[in-house]
Amino acid sequence: MFKALLKKQFAELNASYFQNRKTGKMRSRKSMIGMIVLYAFLFLLIACSFFAVASMIATALVPADFGWLFFVIVGVLSILLGVFGGVFSTYTGLYLAKDNEMLFAMPIPPRKILAARLVGVYAMGLLYEALVFIPSCVAYYLAGGATVASVITSVLMIPILGFLVLTLTCFFGWLVALLSSRLKRKSVITVILSPVFIGVYYYFCLNYYSAIQNLVEHASEVGVKIQSGAYPLYLMGRAADGHIPSFLIFTLAVFLLAALTYYILSKTFLKLATRHASAAKAVYKEKPVKQKNHRSALLFKEWKRFSSSANYMLNCGLGAVFMPAAGIAALIFRGRIQTLLDAFDPPHGILAVIAAAAVCLLSSMCDISAPSVSLEGRNLWILQSMPVSPAEVLDAKLRLHKLVALPPTVFLSVALAIVLKADFESALLMTLFPVIFVMFSAAGGLAVNLLMPNVTWTNEIAPTKQGASATTALSGAWLDAILFGVGGYFACEVIEGYQYLLIAIVVFSFLTRLIQNWIRTKGAEIFASL
């Protein structure tokens, strides 16, 4: 029974990547290899960036016999990333799965349904956690920390920390479910919790590098404080550092915690997953409404879809929060940034290019159009049976993407232009290019989704987070932004920065127009036939 549930769980995941949902057939070998290469590249990119940070810490701590402190730092980082990566998908994955009621109606104990779903949550957390922990282990070995015991325990810590991530993720997921079940309007959860999580994450991203540097500089004092004030962390560090008794105690504690979590969740799973809020019913009052034209109506519908889903907003709209925050931070710390730039003395004109690339990188975290077709799901018949052309429907999806992503993009670009004291031409171009880039990534994301739609999902995470289309669009946009930045770095040795920006604007405008035309013609045909 449990095996069948697991099989169903993984079949669903596998299908979202490798299956054509319309024909039910597996994707072509070429497309499957392409996707695997893309994911491998993406993971390698993230792992390399964490390796760079871990190497810096390991070089300072491991030779000074602070290997355990190194593992405390990278362990906490990997746990945080694992928890952040999984907390909202845990809530929807465990409690809001569309097939929950169907499975509850079958002669399957709810705890087994829960266990099968938890395997998925564990795998997701493990993936995120390992992205930090594995490159950190490599950095640790290279810094001279490798002994037989430390290699064995550090490798074993990867799946063990996965259980700790699972425990924490489940705790937060359970908390969200509990709150949600007591509220009539689920969007309240979104309004309250999303900014909190985004704020915490943003604060963490802004401060973690300086915090780590501070830790490294004051390793002895921090070490003593952790030993006395945060013993479990000390135990975790020692465990990964090859201290066998610590490893055994830590492992036992993690497994006990995970078992306790499973026990508590299984006791409340059925109740929470089937509970309907008992809040006061909203009273309907007739009032005059203004007639909208169908373009506005379609945009309104897209907005409601986006703003009513925490998953959609968090996974596809985070850039809209990060960009204004980055712009404000840049304006506040413009003095420091100027000092830093003066010290580097970069070649003339390159700063505008690098700034534009940075804005593009952040704007690519708004990939709203990428799952928008898949999210129609079982509602697809509504738009298909209405007197609106598929091109108009797709245009509304593009407009929402631009509506959410363009204002913060312009704000951040202008803020960076002020900070860099760019002249008028450069300021204009370094603002214009990210605007074109947003239109390009909106069109690109939508096109990718039309080519890889998944309208038969049972869980919203499938199209917004795990789906091939969302991942491809996001990583594709990242890659484009990085290539643009790297290309600019070399090109500025032969041409002026503003000339490079001008060329990029022309090229990306042309590409955007090409994709938009494809969406209006071939894309519209695909949408009509879904």
Partner 1 sequence: MLRIEHLTKTYGDVKAVDDLSLHILPGEIYGFIGHNGAGKTTTLKSAVGILAFDKGDIFVDGLSIKSDPLACKAKIAYIPDNPDLYEFMTGIAYLNFVADIFGVSADDRASRIHNYAEVFELTSDLAQPISAYSHGMKQKLAIISALIHDPRLILMDEPFVGLDPKASHSLKELMREHCSRGGAIFFSTHVLEVAEKLCDKVAIIKSGRLIKSGTMEEVKGDASLESVFLELED
> In the complex, which residues of this chain contact partner 1 (CB under 8 A)?
184-186, 276, 281-286, 288-294, 296-298, 300-301, 304-305, 308-309, 377-379, 381-382, 384-389, 528-529
> At closest approach, how far in Å is the CB of 384 from partner 1?
5
Cβ atoms of residues 269 and 114 within 8 Å: yes
Between 284 and 344, CB nearer to partner 1: 284
State how far the Cα of 80 lies from the Cα of 103, in Å rounded to an integer: 32
Between 207 and 308, CB nearer to partner 1: 308
> At closest approach, how far in Å is the CB of 103 from partner 1?
19
What tokens were used for 251? 């492992």
Between 142 and 188, CB nearer to partner 1: 188
Cβ atoms of residues 5 and 436 within 8 Å: no
> At closest approach, how far in Å is the CB of 474 from partner 1?
23
Map tokens 């898949």 to a residue. 374
Between 277 and 328, CB nearer to partner 1: 277
Residue spans of alpha helices (H) in 218-243: 219-229, 231-240
Rounded to 5 degrees, what angle do the CA atoms 82, 76, 212 make?
125
> At closest approach, how far in Å is the CB of 304 from partner 1?
5
Distances (CA, A) of 451 to 34, 446, 456, 518, 523: 14, 9, 15, 11, 8
Task: Report the SS3 class of residue 26.
Answer: strand
Between 268 and 389, CB nearer to partner 1: 389
Cβ atoms of residues 324 and 412 within 8 Å: yes
Helices 187-217, 148-181: crossing angle, 10 deg rounding: 150
Distances (CA, A) of 486 to 52, 318, 382: 19, 24, 45
Cβ atoms of residues 405 and 319 within 8 Å: yes
> At closest approach, how far in Å is the CB of 33 from partner 1?
27
Cβ atoms of residues 219 and 69 within 8 Å: yes
> At closest approach, how far in Å is the CB of 381 from partner 1?
5
> At closest approach, how far in Å is the CB of 142 from partner 1?
50
Between 238 and 399, CB nearer to partner 1: 399
Distances (CA, A) of 345 to 50, 342, 429: 27, 5, 21
Between 274 and 379, CB nearer to partner 1: 379
CB atoms inside a 10 Å sphere around CB 517? 12
Which residues sit opposite 26 in a β-bridge?
19
Between 111 and 301, CB nearer to partner 1: 301
What is 120-153 written as a DSSP string? HHHHHHHHHHHHHHHHHHHHHIIIII--HHHHHH
> At closest approach, how far in Å is the CB of 55 from partner 1?
46
Count of CA atoms in the C-beta half-sphere (13 A) of 302? 26
> At closest approach, how far in Å is the CB of 239 from partner 1?
45
